[in-house]
Amino acid sequence: MALYDEFYARMLQSGAPYSIRCPLADMEKLVRRRNYREFMRRFKAVIGVVRNQNMCLFIEDDQKYFAGLFELWFKVMERPAFQFEGGDEMLFTCNGNITNLLAVTQHRNGDECIKKLIGHPENMAKLLLLYTPRSLLEIPVTPLFDANPMLASLWYACLWNWADTYVSPVVQRNYEYFLNFADNRFEPFDSDLICGYFRCTYVDNVRDRVLKRVFNQAVRRYCAGVQIANRPNPRSIAVVSAYWNGQHAVYRAFAPYVEELARHYDLTLINMAPPGRAKPETGLFKRVLDIEASPAKINVSSLVENDFQLAYFPDVGMSQESVYLANLRLAPIQCMGTGHPVSSASVYMDYFISGAEVETPDRPEENYDERLVLLPGLSVHPIKPKYVPSRPPPSNDFIVNCPWMHMKNNHRMTLMLKRILDQASRPVVFSIYPGCAATSNSSFMATIQDFSTILPSSAFVVQPDLPYDEYMRRQELGRFALHSYPFGGGTTAVDALILGKPLVVMRGRHEYNRYPAALLKRLGLEELIADSLEQWVGICVRLINDEAYLADVARRVGEVDLDAGIFRLADASGLRRAFDHLIKYDAVLRGDRDRKPVCID
């Protein structure tokens, strides 16, 4: 292990091409001599460095190097004499890097190796490591859980992080297939389940709760020994978040609500942010309790005895810790917000807090396991960004902004972009902003490659992860913005409006594809709301082809009074009044068989 540590450290410090850091000739020699353990130590070191340094682009001979390295890796995996040992499981957590690098070599995936391993039970760990969302093969999942539930659980938890966009039809199809096999034998120990819990909605927003219920059941089994001693104080409310910092969308969406709560209740922040993340904003809280967690365990000792009357989770599903705590009964009343506006599917989450202007009040059970509570107005109360537009001169290119977080880029919407191009009377460049995932998991090159199979390379640019001000400056070069579907966006909609950019949205039946439409409706810009993808394409094409119309719409967007329309503080008391109501009438509401939304006047 010391040799591996020293080798890894030297590689990490080196700025040389990988062919010099870890020469293929040395790796070939290890394979010829059947020194498979040393080969794997060095292979893991290479992948660990790739992961640590967030490789975005191949330089010099990197592409040829990794093609050769994977060729050797396949040879080792095919040898019966090589079997995984302790420590090799780290490859499952790093396999997003392997999957994405393979995708941009001639190998594309590990299918040829899988064909040589399948049918041999002793090769199950190898097979699972190679069976990724980019595979063209289809392997039944249930027998994997029959054979080894622990290993299958590790694979099933990790695979949701092995591709970062769903632009490829292969990736989209495979994740839909994996979602069909949410096995009740799944166990969360020593695995990071947050990726599947969070990402399943982007794969299939109708069946996502099936997977969430399986994960929730597994978490409750795992936490069965935790006993919470709650002595509720009617004035005590806990706010449970991993993202309560000033730059994050969660804070920007809910801070005015919490500020109003602080005037009437004693607030405790249950801070789940890990070390290294931006420090939370703590000024509104009387207490701050820090929760430490890893994929394998969570320390809830500071919560075992508490006085919370109500626990408020603004962002269930955005952190591993939030999933664990959402499956504990911390307080008699537990509510969630729209930080990630999707049902938790947890039996311990009682109410989903949203907005009357956003939701469709009929059949809420289609979207939520929780009982829906409707505040007056919108489902969030956004903070006005501090960014001041610079109004640069128009770009020579006709740029259309697509501020779509990586998972919002899917195959169907990319086909819609192609339809827009086909109907446009001028060249268009779609500027795509996938955020931090553009550089994580070495996915930047694979993402560009996936787009280029559908769109001409001259018609899109995938932006790197950018600081907020630079992200806004680049969006100022766009003529208008598009929102993705089925998962739209809240903060990105506000960003577009701050910049005075027309925003074309597709309205559906979920909060996350209705909130941007509710913003536009409130501001008198309903002509930018589509109720079908055909209409969505039509609005975009008109804005591109009719310069006078685009100028008129942009003028009207620029004249909108956003302070009065969406930043007004009069709406900020809604959440506090909802909690007043729930604390007073919770017992009555629980006995009510009518699951209609609770409407707050």
Beta strand 266-271 with 333-336: parallel, antiparallel or unpaired? unpaired
Residue 265: what pLDDT? 98
Which one, of 27, 19, 108, lies nearest residue 62 by Cα? 19
CA 313 remoteness from chain centre:
17
What is the rounded CA–CA span in Å between residue 163 and residue 100?
Answer: 7
pLDDT at residue number 542:
98
By CB atoms closer than 10 A (0-12, 13-18, 19+), residue 361 is exposed
What's the distance, CA 311 to chain centroid?
23
The residues, any chain, with a CB within 8 Å of residue 346's CB and separated by 6 or more, are 212, 216, 316, 326, 327, 369
**Distance between CA atoms of 550 and 562, rounded to whole angstroms?**
20
Write the DSSP string, 442-459. G-HHHHHHHHHTTS-GGG
Q: Which residues of 260-294 are buried (b: 16+ CB within 10 A; e: fewer)?
A: bbbeebbbbbbbbbeeeeeebeeebbeeebebebe
Residue 438: phi and psi, rounded to 5, are -65, -25
Query: Which domains does the chain possess?
Result: 2-222 (no CATH), 229-383+574-599 (3.40.50.11380), 399-565 (3.40.50.2000)
**Is the separation of the CB atoms in 396 and 435 below 8 Å?**
no
Asked if residues 233 and 307 have their Cβ atoms less than 8 Å apart, the reply is yes
Q: Check if the beta carbon of residue 175 is closer than 8 Å to that of residue 134.
A: no
d(CA 261, CA 247): 21
350's tokens: 């009682």
Tokens for 344, please give them: 């938790």
pLDDT of residue 190: 63
Residues 6+ apart with CB under 8 A from 187: 149, 150, 153, 218, 221, 222
List, in order, residues 6 or more apart from 440 with CB less than 8 Å away.
54, 96, 164
* 480 vs 551: CA distance, rounded Å: 10
Pairwise CA distance, residues 323 & 219, whole Å: 8
Secondary structure of 167-178 as H, E, C letters? CCHHHHHHHHHH
- Measure the CA–CA gap between 339 and 155, rounded to whole angstroms: 28
Residue 174 tokens read as 């495979």
Q: Where are the alpha helices (DSSP H) in 443-532?
A: 444-452, 468-475, 491-498, 515-522
Task: Report the C-alpha gap between 538 and 534 in whole angstroms.
Answer: 6
Residue pointed to by tokens 């399986």: 214
CB 171 within 8 A of CB 203: no
585: β partners: none
Q: Walk along the chain (601 residues) in steps of 10 and give the mean pLDDT of each run.
A: 67 86 96 96 93 86 96 97 89 94 97 95 95 97 95 95 96 97 87 89 95 96 92 98 91 91 97 87 96 76 96 95 95 96 97 95 92 93 87 92 96 98 98 83 94 98 93 97 94 94 97 95 97 98 98 96 85 92 96 89 86
Q: Give the pLDDT of residue 1.
A: 38
Please work out, in degrees rounded to the nearest 5, the angle formed at the alpha carbon of residue 328 by the alpha carbons of 346 and 221: 80
At 397, list the tokens.
């290119």
Whether a cis peptide bond, with omega within 30° of 0, leads into 486 is yes
pTM of the predicted structure, to 2 decimals: 0.93
Element (H, E) at 292: strand 292-294
DSSP letter (8 states) at residue 302: G
Give the separation between CA 450 and CA 290, rounded to whole angstroms: 40
Please name the amino acid found at residue 278: A
Q: Tell me, what's the pLDDT at 506?
A: 97
Terminal CA-CA length for the chain? 64
As to burial, measured by CB atoms within 10 angstroms (0-12 exposed, 13-18 middle, 19+ buried), residue 204 is middle
**Amino acid occupying residue 176:** E
Sheet hosting strand 429-432, strand order edge to edge: 460-462, 429-432, 399-402, 480-482, 503-506, 529-530
State the alpha helices, DSSP H only, in 86-205.
90-103, 111-117, 124-130, 142-147, 149-158, 169-179, 194-203
Q: Tokens in use for 88? A: 């090799």
Q: CB neighbours (10 Å) of residue 563?
A: 10
pLDDT at 382: 81
Q: What is the pLDDT of residue 473?
A: 96
- Please tell me the predicted confidence (pLDDT) of residue 4: 52
Q: What pLDDT, on the 0 to 100 scale, is given for residue 14? A: 84
